[in-house]
Amino acid sequence: MMKNIIFVLLLFKSLFCTIILAKNVLLIVADDGGFETQVYGNPVCKTPHLDKLASKSTIFKNAFTSVSSCSPSRSSILTGLPQHQNGMYGLHQDIHHFNSFDEVKSLSKLMKMKNIYSGIIGKKHVGPENVYPFDFAYTEETNSINQVGRNITKIKDLVHEFFSTLNHSQPFFLYVAFHDPHRCGHTNPEYGEFCEKFGNGEEGMGIIPDWKPEHYKPEDVIVPYFIPDTPTARADIAAQYTTLSRLDQGIGLVLKELKEFNHDNDTLVIYTSDNGIPFPSGRTNLYDPGMAEPFLMHLPQQTYSQVSEEMVSLLDIVPTILEWFNVKYPDYKLNGMPVQLSGKSLLQSTSLKKSEAVFASHNLHEVTMYYPIRVVRTNSYKLIHNLNFKMPFPIDQDFFISPTFQDLLNRTVEKKETHWYKNLTDYYYRPEWELFDLEKDSNERYNVVNNAAYHSIRTTLQKMLLDWQISTNDPWICSPSGVLENKGRFKENPTCLPLYNGV
């Protein structure tokens, strides 16, 4: 281990002395992807290309999104700012209409200012355009999302085109945002629950020439602890695995293009996912099934893999890429408050600077789903603050219609065995504070927040969470028991004033 660390330190040193090596960035993001890969311990779902990438990457075992919802997460990946700070409180598309603040300096904007060629292929799902400009863009804004996000032949062609149009004296930042393995039963049920039939060559499904679909039997899949072990959920997971094979083969094609254009030896490659898998306790939740993410980081010419237990946030991606390109984060204000990145560069992950905690912040998903949550998670504990705890936890359209959730509703209504680790009442109605002792209770079953033995842990974590909310200018800082007054006579001394609402 120590030897590896020293080796990596030396590698970094040599990287930064040889400027040409530390040249480009390829950021690959899955949509609702989880841990269904050998590298993260799933021996059933076949993902050879991700495993190959992992064999020459740092494999982060403790990586977390700062929000488990598509647009908010993508905005925080691209800005380094949590959703409550960059303004993307919920989904961007259609009626939801959320956007980041116009003044936000996103990664693609900073790249543009430094004459780094930026490209996006696949799901953008953030706005406005002036905050997220790309030189080369093929996204759902101008194309079918299934073509640019799931058709891996089309994606391969677009990556090829990106490299063909690249001016070789210019460094690049390429963001390939797959739509796989997102569900599609809600939008395109004709292609199956996870669009697992799209392009599989069967009648009416079209063909994706580069894709060799993998098929799974429901009895063979691995059912994680947070999904009911029922035939319906197993069939749902089997469909998810098939779609993961398309994502995996797509990643293989993207990396092949990188190599063919001779950029595999001068490009930092990062692979992660925007949010947890679309199952109960997953996406839209900040329990670990919603918050934990796969995260691989490959340095140019890295030929070995190593595991990192460090606490890593997707908010660390911006600081990492800025350091890679040697770009300084600008001084500016948002809503009158100075902006600082709360993440850290992972290029130093093997040196001394370690985070002891990561933070998360959720407000909405769909426009109707107001359910603000704030979280601090360390290696050993997680503290969750459910600000809207008097309301039932909301369910999104896409997950609601899924076989797994429908089966769970039916079984509950019919008073049948659910085979689930929770019940719907507990799932909908959550206490204001939840504290989990992850060393004893990694599945987050037992809330110990009122246990006297955890009093000092609770106090410490609450203070850490509050400090993070203050440093990221969280408008929800006084919720739910108070109102923040910060203008007029409170301008110099912002204060939480009590509502006497019994909370």
Ligand X SMILES: *[C@@H]1O[C@H](CO)[C@@H](O)[C@H](O)[C@H]1NC(C)=O
Q: Please report, as a single letter, which amino acid is at residue 228.
A: P
Give the nearest residue (CB) to ligand X.
Answer: 206
Q: Does 70 bind Ca ion (CB under 5 A)?
A: yes
**Whose Cβ is closer to ligand X: residue 151's or residue 350's?**
151
Pinpoint the alpha helices (H) of 166-316: 231-260, 288-291
Tokens of 265: 């030896």
Of 92 and 382, the one with the shorter C-beta distance to Ca ion is 92
- Concerning whether 70 is annotated as a catalytic residue, the answer is yes
Q: Which residue has the tokens 């259609």?
A: 94
- Which own/partner contact pairs does 447-456 have at CB distance under 8 Å and 24+ positions apart? 449/383
Q: Which stretch binds ligand X (CB under 6 A): 348-356, 374-382, 385-393, 404-412?
A: 404-412
Nearer residue to Ca ion within complex by CB, 32 or 396 = 32
Joined tokens for residue 81: 């700012």
Considering only 206, 218, 394, 482, the residue that binds ligand X (CB under 6 A) is 206
DSSP string for residues in 165-191: H--TTS-EEEEEE--TT---TTT-GGG
Q: Which of 265, 335, 397, 442 binds ligand X (CB under 6 A)?
A: 265
426 binds, among Ca ion, ligand X, none (CB under 5 to 8 A by kind): ligand X
**Is the preceding peptide bond at 480 cis, omega within 30 degrees of 0?**
yes
CB of 410 to ligand X, least distance (A): 4
Using CA of residue 78, residue 84, residue 90, residue 92, what is the dihedral sign? negative
Interacting partner of 20 out of Ca ion, ligand X, none (Cβ under 5 to 8 A depending on kind): ligand X
Q: Does 444 bind Ca ion (CB under 5 A)?
A: no
Out of ligand X, Ca ion, none, which partner does residue 408 contact, by CB within 5 to 8 A per kind?
none
Catalytic residue among 70, 184, 195, 478: 70
Is 274 a binding residue for Ca ion by CB under 5 A? The answer is yes
| CA atoms within a 13 Å half-sphere pointing along the CA-CB vector of 200 | 18
Strand 306-308 vs strand 312-313: parallel, antiparallel, or unpaired?
unpaired
Q: Does 182 bind ligand X (CB under 6 A)?
A: no
Select the binding partner of residue 451 from ligand X, Ca ion, none (C-beta < 5 to 8 A, by kind). none
CB atoms within 10 A of CB 19: 9
Query: b or e along 187-205 (b: 16 or more beta carbons within 10 Å of the residue's beta carbon)?
Result: eeeebbbbbbbbbbeeeeb
Please state whether beta strands 381-386 and 312-313 pair in parallel, antiparallel, or not at all (unpaired).
unpaired
* Planar angle of CA 56, 61, 63, nearest 5 degrees: 105
Which residues between 132 and 171 bind ligand X (CB under 6 A)? 151, 153-154, 157, 167, 169-170
Span from 26-34, 194-202, 246-254, 377-385 in contact with Ca ion (CB under 5 A)? 26-34
CB neighbour class for 45 (10 Å; exposed up to 12, middle 13-18, buried from 19): buried
Q: Which stretch binds ligand X (CB under 6 A): 33-41, 44-52, 261-269, 270-278?
A: 261-269
- Selected range binding Ca ion among 32-40, 94-102, 146-154, 216-224, rule: CB under 5 A: 32-40
Rounded CA separation 263/257 (Å) = 9
Residue 31 binds Ca ion, judged by CB under 5 A: yes
* Interface with ligand X in residues 77-106 (CB under 6 A): none
Given ligand X, Ca ion, none, residue 368, with its beta carbon under 5 to 8 Å by kind, binds: none
Q: Which of 32, 210, 257, 264 binds Ca ion (CB under 5 A)?
A: 32
| Shortest Å distance, C-beta 503 to ligand X | 22
The answer to whether residues 320 and 60 touch, using CB atoms and an 8 Å cutoff, is no
Interface ranges with Ca ion (CB under 5 A) = 31-32, 70, 274-275
Hey, which residues are catalytic here?
70
Interface ranges with ligand X (CB under 6 A) = 20-21, 151, 153-154, 157, 167, 169-170, 199, 206-208, 232, 262, 265-266, 403, 406-407, 410, 423, 425-426
